[in-house]
Structure 1
Amino acid sequence: MTITFQPMDEEQFNAYYATKLHAYAREHVKAGNWDKGEALEKAEKQFKLLLPEGVETEDHHLFIIKNDDESIGTIWLYVKQTGQDKQAFIYDVELDENQRGKGYGTRTMAALEEYAKSQSISRIGLHVFAHNERALKLYQKMGYETKSYQMSKTIFF
């Protein structure tokens, strides 16, 4: 079993975009960052800002995660060159619901490291919502370190 990354085509990107837009809005509501009524609009603004040219947006790499020939998830990676250093940021990585708990998360992150090496990427960063404990444990297991905390406290509601 081999994990690989296949660039999304326009049709795959459109399906991804529609699904992720709503999921991203829900995550921000769940995290307490946005009100439900404004979440979708805010998500659309951020996506349009980040991906103005869709799948063709420069420095953004949108992939289908494959296990051999089977599609098992998606990954959105931003790569930037700063001087002599090339760094990446994972905007999104998600395995399909029916593919979770099979070890593919660990293998996907290991494959991403191999991809990074092949592209001379020296560092990979990411953001994880605090309520996503499963992902947080995976990233910690893979050697990702916390670089900052953003905290809040609800006083009234």
Structure 2
Amino acid sequence: MEIELKPMSEEKFNQYYKKLTEEYAADHAKAGNWSEDEAVDKARKQIEKLLPEGVKTKENYLYSVCDGDDPLGVLWLNVRPTPQGNHAYIYDIRLDDDQQGKGYGKATMQKLDEYAKEHEISRIALHVFAHNERAIKLYTKTGYEMTDHLMAKTFK
């Protein structure tokens, strides 16, 4: 298994953008942050704000995660200089459904560690929805630690 991060093409970005919008909206609706009626519009607006120039947006790096020539998923990484060194934020990392449970998640996170060293990134952060237990386990196993808790109580 040789994970590679290949720059995302415009064509792949257009496919990814549609799926990202739908899944991000669904995650926010599931978490109770947005109603289902407003979720897609809010997701689209947030993504457009973060990626106004698509794959060419400054400080944002969109990759196809591949095993050789086989596409496995995507990685969207934002890298910014800070007084403490380069910091990265994972806006999205996902494997295709049929690639999960095969060790690619861990291999991708290891590849990201190599990427961080190569690009002198001193910190990588990310957000994960509390209902995404599989991802939380993976991030914990690969050295990520909880830095915040956001809690809510819903009344009906």
TM-score with structure 1 length normalisation? 0.97
Aligned residue number for residue 71 of structure 1: 71
Aligned residue number for residue 133 of structure 2: 133
Equivalence map 1:52-71=2 (5 Å) = 52-71=52-71
Equivalence map 1:1-157=2 (5 Å) = 1-83=1-83, 85-156=85-156
Aligned letter for 1:135?
A
Aligned letter for 2:66?
K
Q: What is the rounded CA distance, in whole Å, between the counterparts of 1:155 and 1:84 in structure 2?
A: 42
Alpha-carbon shift at residue 9 of structure 1 (Å): 1.1
Alpha-carbon shift at residue 84 of structure 1 (Å): 5.3
Aligned letter for 2:146?
T
Alignment RMSD, CA only?
0.7
Structure 2 gap ranges (5+): none
Q: What is the rounded CA distance, in whole Å, between the counterparts of 1:118 and 1:103 in structure 2?
A: 23
Runs of 4+ aligned residues of structure 1 deviating over 3 Å after TM superposition are none
Alpha-carbon shift at residue 68 of structure 1 (Å): 1.7
Q: How many residues align?
A: 156
Q: What is the rounded CA distance, in whole Å, between the counterparts of 1:35 and 1:155 in structure 2?
A: 15
Q: What is the rounded CA distance, in whole Å, between the counterparts of 1:70 and 1:48 in structure 2?
A: 28
TM-score with structure 2 length normalisation? 0.98
Q: What is the rounded CA distance, in whole Å, between the counterparts of 1:136 and 1:84 in structure 2?
A: 26
* Alignment deviations for residues 107-138 of structure 1 (CA, whole Å, 9 cap, x no partner): 00000000110000011000000000000000
Structure 1 gap ranges (5+): none
Aligned letter for 1:145?
E
